[in-house]
Amino acid sequence: MINSEGNAGQPAKKVLKLDKVCKRFGGVVAANDISIELFPGEVLGLIGPNGAGKSTIINLITGVYQVNDGKIFIEGKDITKAPAHTRAREGITRTFQHPHLLQRSDIATNIFLGMDLARKKDNKMQTGEYKELLDRLLQVSGLDDLDFDDGIGRLSYGEQKLLETVRAILSRPKVLLLDEPAAGLNQRELEKIKALVRIALDMDAAVLFIEHRMDLVMSICHRITVLNFGNLIAEGTPAEIQENPVVIEAYLGRKRGA
């Protein structure tokens, strides 16, 4: 469990800011006064037991859900009330826990959808630049020898998750939200996800990483935020989080006889 000591925590300009965000579903508080900041070129891990409110946070950031209280800013711009498509065009791109690809279209169409989003943000970009980025992404993810006229149904689950991540990075996000990108993936595919995240970091994206596999979280994240029952219970570097008694208790339960 080695933490890559990158340039995390540098006082760079923050790209995404959640300010005391609350979300309630009836009586259930899914997010309670959550404040999170994301900086370009860093990976923030968002961990917590099932039902802790991790996916809710992503849904709030992307505009799938609207917040009850609090504010969300991207590069200082208030997007609290903005619809999902506006936020996507501001540079927030996500993947889903279960890949949400165009199930009835071919692979090429799916990939081009990511390019479409990039063009909506910056139409000055040349096709050659996309080509370069796409080639790199496909090569790293091992998807480069597929038949792109094939339907999505011919891809394995892991390939679909990789493809969704490729598509997300291809849209050149400022903020990349990955919702359990490694769930259901084997070790080889896991390495590919890591390599893809590194490409996103090279592009100066801020990555929010939800994951249950602790080895992956500890090896890839610069900072970690821990949620439990909609509350933010801990923040810090991977090393700090591993030592944090509150986190250990939330994850493993109270030690017998402690």
Q: How far is the CB of 80 from other proteins (least distance, A)?
A: 16
Residue 103 interacting with other proteins (CB under 8 A)? yes
Q: How far is the CB of 233 from other proteins (least distance, A)?
A: 28
Site for other proteins in 136-155 (CB under 8 A): 142, 145-149
Long-range contacts of 240-245 (CB under 8 A, 24+ apart): 241/47, 242/1, 242/218
Residue 146 DSSP symbol: S
> From the list 28, 78, 120, 139, which residue makes contact with other proteins (rule: CB under 8 A)?
120
Q: How far is the CB of 86 from other proteins (least distance, A)?
A: 8
Q: Which is nearer to other proteins, 101 or 220 (CB)?
A: 101
Which region among 6-14, 59-67, 204-212, 224-232 touches other proteins (by CB under 8 A)?
59-67
Which region among 12-20, 118-126, 205-213, 239-247 touches other proteins (by CB under 8 A)?
118-126
Look-up: residue for tokens 């800011």? Answer: 17
> In b/e form, how buried is each residue of 166-188, taking b as 16+ CB within 10 angstroms?
bbbbbbbbbbbbbbbbbeebeee
- Rounded CA separation 198/245 (Å): 30
- Rounded CA separation 22/27 (Å): 12
Sheet holding 43-47, edge to edge: 92-94, 175-179, 206-210, 43-47, 223-228, 231-236
Look-up: residue for tokens 């799938």? Answer: 64
Of 185, 175, 250, 245, the residue nearest 211 (C-alpha) = 185
Compute the residue count for the chain. Answer: 258
> From the list 131, 202, 245, 246, which residue makes contact with other proteins (rule: CB under 8 A)?
131
> From the list 6, 105, 139, 202, which residue makes contact with other proteins (rule: CB under 8 A)?
105
Q: Which is nearer to other proteins, 135 or 215 (CB)?
A: 135
Binding mask 180-219 for other proteins (x = CB under 8 A): ------x-xx------------------------------
Residue 85 interacting with other proteins (CB under 8 A)? yes
Residue 116 interacting with other proteins (CB under 8 A)? yes
Contact of 178 with 210, CB cutoff 8 Å: yes
**Which residue ranges make up the site for other proteins (CB under 8 A)?**
62-64, 83-85, 88-89, 93-94, 96, 100-105, 108-109, 111-114, 116-117, 119-121, 131, 134-135, 142, 145-149, 156, 158-159, 167, 171, 186, 188-189
